[in-house]
Amino acid sequence: MNARTIPIQSVSTPPVAQEGCHAPSGTLAQAAKQAGKSELLDQLARDYPRGEGQGPHDQPQSMCPAFGSLRVGLRMRRTATILSGSACCVYGLTFTSHFYGARRSVGYVPFNSETLVTGKLFEDIREAVIAQANPEHVDAVVVINLCVPTASGVPLQLLPKEINGVRIIGIDVPGFGVPTHAEAKDVLTGAMLDYARAEVRHGPVPAPRDTRRERPSITLVGEMFPADPVSVAQLIAPMGLGVGAVLPTREWRELYVALDGAAVAAIHPFYTASLRTLADVGKPIVGSAPVGIEGTQDWLLSLGQSMGLPRELVDKARNAVLAPMRTLLNEQRIHGRITLSGYEGSELLVARLLIDCGADVRYVGSACPSTPWNAHDAEWLRARGVQVQFRATLEQDLQAMHEHGPDLVIGTTPVVQRAKEMRLPALYFTNLISARPLLGVPGMSSLVDVVRAAMANRERMDQMHGFFDGVTT
């Protein structure tokens, strides 16, 4: 019997499959466009604009952006999350997620060059989604494409929109398209809000857990300290208003409450996609936040005007908070110079509050972009001589620290590390500032306490420096 020879044809492997997530951002972006993702990248560029050469791939100065989307999914009840990306990326994302308190597993669909090139990866993802879509356990399954699957054109939009009554949400969160993890929160939140909006259009939807809403409510946008929505509710109660949902939500049905709000407060101003959806359904949007005396007074006035409320109701709310804030400021003041930077998106609000409390703030750097919803805060700060830097880099943050010689540095991990090397008291923005109340009277009290305590450590920093002087090389 004659043996049959099967010809082996070589299939060229695209550069993105060869280099993986280590490929330059230009290579990944070009590959994504060739793979049919041009429209996606164009939309990401409009929603989350960045300067040339900026972003996680070109300047890796913050965590992987996809962590933001992953965090939103993991914090929601009855929501499963599946990652599709390089193993090293998935390891880092799951490690960080559990470090920050995730209490559920993260799904992962592995791939190699062959499954990536042949399209088998998409079939594997679909099988994983079908396996996870159990309506007894989950309301939604979220699938997140990381850099390499996005650059290879893995078409998550072809996944079923629903399986056994379970919603399927597929999103691309490439590091070469989404600049920060803060903005990646909006990628998933916006996608979920769009899905919920379509559900509302098609008929009745599940009622929220709390059905005792007797007054018009406002939707708060931004991941904030749990006490902050309570503070806002107290501030706006004299205006006959309440707080509805907080985006990102903790449960799917809360998305319907967000869409039903009478107005929207863009506490965090970078939720571009989410705010676009809310604007499309006719909701008035108010920027900034109730921080400090002037910030709170301005915000309450803007909210009342956007909703057409009688001026006497607005003034009633403004007067109710004025006295306790003035009392607090008279009793506790911050004395000293501060530089501030971070990548959470609330940096300008914190700077306003610090200035209201007496601090001499010289520089504010945010990794997030300028938007219509933080324009007023930026203008307010610049009018007081503060340098405001959007899309700030580590180099700019360090330069400001060296230039201004602050009594306290508030910043990202590398900025804090450098400050302590210089014997400067320093606070990590993410864990020590953004993870505490910011709004209303509780926000003022909390911030003053932690900042004053940190500033008092200058002598201790000098003592430690003297003790270890000459020990290291």
**Residue range 438-449, pLDDT digits in tens:** 999 999 989 999
CATH of domain 16-179: 3.40.50.1980
Start and end residues for every CATH 3.40.50.1980 domain found in the chain: 16-179, 217-325, 333-466
Element (H, E) at 442: helix 440-455
> How confident is the model over 314-335, as a mean pLDDT?
92
- Residue 1 clears pLDDT 70, i.e. is over it: no
Average pLDDT of every residue of the chain: 90
- Residue 29 clears pLDDT 50, i.e. is over it: yes
What confidence tier does 398 reach under pLDDT thresholds 50, 70, 90?
A: very high
DSSP H stretches of helix in 49-180: 66-74, 87-99, 113-118, 120-132, 147-151
Peptide bond into 7 cis (omega under 30): no
What confidence tier does 9 reach under pLDDT thresholds 50, 70, 90?
A: very low
103 or 182, greater pLDDT = 182
> How confident is the model over 269-298, as a mean pLDDT?
97
DSSP letter string, 281-337: TT--EE-S---HHHHHHHHHHHHHHHTT--HHHHHHHHHHHHHHHHHHHHH----SE
pLDDT tens digit string along 200-245?
999 888 887 776 667 899 999 999 999 999 999 999 999 999 999 9
- Alpha carbon distance, N-terminus to C-terminus of the chain: 75
The predicted structure's pLDDT at residue 16: 58
pLDDT tens digit string along 385-395?
999 999 999 99
- Residue 469 clears pLDDT 90, i.e. is over it: no
- Residue 56 clears pLDDT 70, i.e. is over it: no
pLDDT tens digit string along 336-376?
999 999 999 999 999 999 999 999 999 999 999 999 999 99
CATH class name, domain 217-325: alpha beta
Lowest mean pLDDT among 67-76, 96-105, 111-120, 391-400: 96-105
DSSP β-bridge partners for residue 143:
82, 170
> How confident is the model over 170-182, as a mean pLDDT?
94
Q: What is the pTM of this model?
A: 0.91
Instruction: Count Cβ atoms within 10 A of the Cβ of residue 306 and give its class: 0-12 exposed, 13-18 middle, 19 or more buried.
Output: middle
- Residue 53 clears pLDDT 50, i.e. is over it: no
The first and second tokens of residue 196, run together, are 């919920």
The predicted structure's pLDDT at residue 459: 77
* Separation between Cα atoms, residue 296 and residue 288, nearest integer Å: 9
Yes or no: say if 416 and 426 are a contact pair by the CB < 8 Å rule.
Answer: yes
pLDDT cut 70: percent of the chain above it: 91
> How confident is the model over 414-418, as a mean pLDDT?
93
CATH of domain 333-466: 3.40.50.1980
Is the torsion defined by CA of 26, 28, 32, 34 positive or negative?
A: positive
> How confident is the model over 409-415, as a mean pLDDT?
94
Contact partners, residue 290, CB within 8 Å, separation at least 6: 231, 232, 235, 296, 299, 300, 321, 439, 440
Amino acid at 193: L
The predicted structure's pLDDT at residue 411: 95
- How far are the Cα atoms of 3, 9, 10 from residue 6, in angstroms, in the given order? 10, 9, 13
The predicted structure's pLDDT at residue 464: 73
The predicted structure's pLDDT at residue 7: 45
The first and second tokens of residue 396, run together, are 């700019």
Amino acid at 261: G
DSSP H stretches of helix in 203-310: 227-236, 254-260, 272-280, 292-306
Lowest mean pLDDT among 10-19, 93-102, 298-307: 10-19
Overall residue count recorded for the chain in this entry? 473
